[in-house]
Structure 1
Amino acid sequence: MPDLLALPDFLTLTEPWMVRIALLLVATLFVAGVVGLASRLLGRLAKHTPTHWDDALQKSARRPAQVMVWLIGLALVSDTLNRRFPDPLFERIDAVRNVGLVLCLAWFLVGFVKRIIEGYALDQQQRGEDFDRTTLDALSKFLRLVVVIVAILVVLQTLGVSIGGVLTLGGIGGIAIGFAAKDLLANFFGGLTIYLDRPFAVGDWIRSPEQSIEGTVEHISWRQTRIRGFNKNPIYVPNALFTSLIVENPSRMSHRRIKETIGLRYADFDKVAAVVAGIRSMLESHPAIDSSQTLIVNFNTYGASSLDILVYTFTHTTAWVDYQAVKQDVLLKMGEVVAAHGAQLAFPTQTLHVELPDAFDIAH
């Protein structure tokens, strides 16, 4: 009577190929565990170093390295099975392994480039040094794009596809693709123009007098730019639009302007000169006003109900909140100057002249 508790032949490892497969799987599992343990230890050591290179290297290589170990181990197992059970399917395992290794290397490089750029930006920010976020983003995207393109070409070469034929086909088909995706290409080159000319950067406040676009730039991609409006709504602008759009960048202003018109009563005509001199003196001595810039205080025109004085000057600050505080202080002090000279601010008035009839007309 056969032993019902006996193990099947494929579990008894009585065949050499079974032993080889078992050893390969155990070895692969062991090496993957060692790689993971070494990665964690290196990660702990990297935290105590002042540079970001080792952190980026450890975090970027951890997953791809483990996947590469399993690819190599499973490829060896497949080779053993192919020797025992020949099949055309196993003959493609080497190509699959090579493709997987190339993709793992590209995975590592893409992550490494991204983390290096982010680490550099964080390091500059912690030191309080200025850096161009837009340029760093463009450099990171360009390098990752190069890695992806090279990886695709290597994968095609590994699969037996002629690179020369692909490039030739790309040149012929590029015309058709260009017509079909002209908007996409226009946005791409518009983004490239932004990265090269840098009319604005991430964090800048921009606006367009031609379109209802105003807000803070949050993100610049190859296809579109995301702007956060002052009402906190996101605005997505295709990059191609910036090649023909007039864009103002108030974030790069050197000063903020105060331009006001102060009206005095016609009854205070004899005090206009003194008020003008007093306001000019106040502005020249004001600590928040840049007297080296254009400063104009002049009697400007005879208004409908006032004698108008033009006040034109610039503040040191460009911050919106601080500017509003400076402007308020200047307006209040101008009112004090007017009051100190015994004059009053004018407001819209009308004088009505009534012509009474003479006695002869009344009698008749």
Structure 2
Amino acid sequence: MAVGYSGWVAQQVPVETPNGSNVSEVISNPEQGPIGELLHEFGIPYSDVFGAIITFVIALFVLYSLGRATIVPFVSRLLNRRDLDKHEKTPLLRLTKLVMGFLALAASLNIAGYGQLLTSLAAIGAAATLAIGLALQDSLSNFVAGMFIYIDRPFRIGDWIEWDEGTYAGIVEDITFRVTRVRTFDNELLTVPNSVLTDDVIKNPVAKDELRLQFNFGIGYDDDIEEATDIILEEAEKHEDILDDPAPTVRMTESSESDRGALADSYVGLTSRYWIADPNRGDYLKTRGEYVTAVKNRFDAAGIDMPDPQIDLAGQYGQNPAVRIDSVDR
């Protein structure tokens, strides 16, 4: 049995550390430490190996416990200063503990006299990391993007966001290092890779304490613009959820706010701008609906018309519509 075992050992392919020493030699012949010397004095065989193992275990326990008692609370306080909630703090604290554990492991190996082995493992780990990184580029991209979301905080859980030029919108339900989950207003759940959000323009209407809204009212050409303006402002001032400061305003609709600006084919455009506090999607829709309804009722009572859009069919056939229509009939 002994001969077979030694023959098996002889056939093994040695793995060398960067300085040329064999890994098995490093493990079986660690540097003699204080504990190893103590064991040697008591005549315990393999005192250097057992001493190194005991030193490693003690060092790992002490360093990791010290890190848990100092580094983790320190990182937790930093996260609290950024006003992160418990759900957002949990993955960051886990990552902190993982990094701290790796550092404690590396330091413990060095203290135990396995510094050369640590160098070898680091080289192997670097090569493995490179191979894994090439195979998981998208996942790593999403992970890095998730880190930026946690650091930059363009949005938080519970925020209403829009992206892809308004194609997608909803309430953020969950943020992980890989994806962000958004609940649409139709109650659909969107699982969005973090890299999509960090590479696009994100609109967060509720990032601030106040939100400015606007609505375009159209009145007839024969109606009194000043009277309509007064009604729009009065109803804004009456609504309890519309702020007095900044004060509501009414201006002639700009060309960028509608197809024809203030003077459309069938109406004169008046744009009302007003502010609400503590905005969210529900408050936004509720306030706008109540406000527009109140203005519409006042317009009806004052005899101010809100005309429907009209299409000039004659203009679709050029300078001589009669000829064009005749040619179509034939």
**Structures share fold, TM-score greater than 0.5:** yes
8 A Cα contact 1:110 1:147, kept in partner: yes
Q: Which amino acid aligns with 2:176?
A: I
State yes or no: 1:150 paired with 2:110.
no
Unaligned regions of 5+ residues in structure 2, if any? 1-38, 254-260, 313-330
Q: For the residues of structure 1 that align with 2:76 and 2:141, how far apart are their CA atoms? A: 32
* Other-structure match for 1:38: none
8 A Cα contact 1:289 1:313, kept in partner: no
Q: For the residues of structure 1 that align with 2:269 and 2:168, how far apart are their CA atoms? A: 34
Q: 1:326 to 1:97 in 2, by over 3 A?
A: same
SS at match of 2:231: helix
Query: What are the superposed Cα offsets for residues 294-346 of structure 1, whole Å, 9 maximum, x if unpaired?
Result: 72243764555x42332321222213333333223322321233134233443
Given candidates 334, 342, 352, the residue that maps to 2:295 is 334
Q: For the residues of structure 1 that align with 2:283 and 2:70, how far apart are their CA atoms? A: 40
Q: 1:264 to 1:172 in 2, by over 3 A?
A: closer
Q: For the residues of structure 2 that align with 1:110 and 1:237, how far apart are their CA atoms? A: 35
Instruction: Report how far residue 216 of structure 1 moved.
Output: 0.9
Q: For the residues of structure 1 that align with 2:212 and 2:136, how far apart are their CA atoms? A: 45
Q: 1:293 to 1:131 in 2, by over 3 A?
A: same
Q: 1:249 to 1:117 in 2, by over 3 A?
A: farther
Q: For the residues of structure 1 that align with 2:122 and 2:76, how far apart are their CA atoms? A: 36
* Other-structure match for 1:274: 227
1:202-213 correspondence runs (5 A): 202-209=157-164, 212=168
Given candidates 183, 192, 202, the residue that maps to 1:247 is 202
Query: What are the superposed Cα offsets for residues 17-40 of structure 1, whole Å, 9 maximum, x if unpaired?
Result: xxxxxxxxxxxxxxxxxxxxxxxx
Given candidates 296, 303, 322, the residue that maps to 2:250 is 296
SS at match of 2:83: coil
Q: For the residues of structure 2 that align with 1:184 and 1:241, how far apart are their CA atoms? A: 12
* Other-structure match for 1:314: 274
State yes or no: 1:131 paired with 2:83.
yes
Q: Which has the higher helix share?
A: 1
Q: For the residues of structure 1 that align with 2:210 and 2:216, how far apart are their CA atoms? A: 20
* Other-structure match for 1:46: none
State yes or no: 1:343 paired with 2:298.
no
1:90-109 correspondence runs (5 A): 100-101=57-58, 104=61, 108=65
8 A Cα contact 1:114 1:140, kept in partner: no
Q: For the residues of structure 2 that align with 1:181 and 1:251, how far apart are their CA atoms? A: 35
Q: For the residues of structure 2 that align with 1:202 and 1:110, how far apart are their CA atoms? A: 30
Query: What are the superposed Cα offsets for residues 107-146 of structure 1, whole Å, 9 maximum, x if unpaired?
Result: 7568667985898699x7xxxx982338845752453133
8 A Cα contact 1:117 1:136, kept in partner: no
* Other-structure match for 2:12: none
Tell me the TM-score normalized by structure 2: 0.58
1:43-192 correspondence runs (5 A): 100-101=57-58, 104=61, 108=65, 116=73, 131-133=83-85, 136-137=89-90, 140-154=93-107, 156-157=109-110, 158=112, 160=114, 162=116, 163-170=118-125, 175-192=130-147
Q: For the residues of structure 2 that align with 1:340 and 1:161, how far apart are their CA atoms? A: 88
Instruction: Report how far residue 217 of structure 1 moved.
Output: 4.4
Moved more, 269-278 or 340-349: 340-349
* Other-structure match for 2:35: none
Moved more, 208-217 or 240-249: 208-217
Q: For the residues of structure 1 that align with 2:169 and 2:310, how far apart are their CA atoms? A: 40
SS at match of 1:256: strand
Q: How many aligned positions are there?
A: 259
8 A Cα contact 2:217 2:272, kept in partner: no
Q: 1:233 to 1:159 in 2, by over 3 A?
A: farther
8 A Cα contact 2:146 2:194, kept in partner: yes
Q: 1:247 to 1:108 in 2, by over 3 A?
A: same
Q: For the residues of structure 2 that align with 1:312 and 1:193, how far apart are their CA atoms? A: 37
8 A Cα contact 1:275 1:338, kept in partner: yes
8 A Cα contact 1:225 1:239, kept in partner: yes
Q: For the residues of structure 2 that align with 1:229 and 1:114, how far apart are their CA atoms? A: 36
Tell me the TM-score normalized by structure 1: 0.53
8 A Cα contact 1:186 1:240, kept in partner: yes
SS at match of 2:206: helix
Q: 1:179 to 1:263 in 2, by over 3 A?
A: closer
Q: Which amino acid aligns with 2:228?
A: V
Q: Higher relative CO (CA 8 A, sep ≥ 6), structure 1 or 2?
A: 2
Q: Which amino acid aligns with 1:149?
A: F
Identity level (%) = 20
Instruction: Report how far residue 252 of structure 1 moved.
Output: 0.4
